[in-house]
C-alpha cells in the first residue's frame, strides 16, 4: 500500500470499507472529522 511507502502517520478517508479496519500496519484510519478532533487544536 502507498501509505507504507510514503511513511504516513494517518490515513484519512470517508470510505466505510477502510474505516472498519481501524488501522492498517499500525497506521490509524480516520474520518476527516476524527482527524481534525485529534490533530488540530482549536484556537
What pLDDT, in 10s, does the model give residues 4-37? 888 899 999 999 999 999 999 999 999 999 999 9
Instruction: Tell me the three-class secondary structure of the chain, residue by residue.
Output: CHHHHCCCCCEECCCHHHHCCCEECCEEEECHHHHHHHHCCCC
Q: Which domain holds residue 17?
A: 2-39
Total-model pTM: 0.81
Asked if residue 1 has pLDDT above 70, the reply is no
Domain total in the chain: 1
Question: pLDDT at position 6, please?
Answer: 86
Question: pLDDT at position 42, please?
Answer: 74
Amino acid at each position: 500500500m502507498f501509505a507504507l511507502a510514503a511513511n504516513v502517520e494517518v490515513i484519512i478517508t470517508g470510505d466505510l470499507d477502510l474505516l472498519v479496519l481501524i488501522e492498517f500496519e499500525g497506521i490509524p484510519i480516520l474520518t476527516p472529522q476524527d482527524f481534525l478532533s485529534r490533530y488540530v487544536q482549536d484556537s
